[in-house]
Amino acid sequence: MTGVQLNLCRLDEIPEGGAKALATVINGKQQPLVAMRRGEHVWLYRNCCPHFSVPLDYNPGEFCTYKNQLIMCAHHSAMFRFEDGLCVDGPCAGARLESVPCKIEGDALVMLECNAVIVKVG
């Protein structure tokens, strides 16, 4: 799907102040993603803690978020801001989640990534 935008999910499928797991394949490799939402704003990141490269969710698709602002790594309790992925507390303070280009188009979250296909919305 080179150069094509990919609709990942509807905006209302991402819980307000929460996160949603999205399984994709990018450039032939599985890339679990996490979308976080606050109001009409959505941020998309690789679902991978920079501390030990483990997923952020404590069970597949289940994330711990705090005050509509932070997502916590279930494995090391690192806290990352929604808006820029910066770790503000925990063992990797100062590190960032890897962002994935996206936008809201109509009522859909759209990934702006080449060579991507959606595998499963978790």
Would you say the pTM of this structure is higher than 0.85? yes
pLDDT score, position 5: 74
pLDDT score, position 119: 59
pLDDT score, position 1: 42
pLDDT score, position 30: 86
- Please give the Cα distance from 121 to 109 (Å, whole number): 12
- Contact between residue 73 and residue 65 where contact means Cβ atoms under 8 Å apart: no
Name residues of the chain where pLDDT drops below 70. 1-4, 113-122
Q: Does domain 5-119 sit in CATH 2.102.10.10?
A: yes
Every domain of the chain and the residues it spans: 5-119
| Three-state SS letters, 23-83 | EEEECCEEEEEEEEEECCEEEEEECCCCCCCCCCCCECCECEEECCCEEECCCCCCEEECC
pLDDT score, position 2: 46
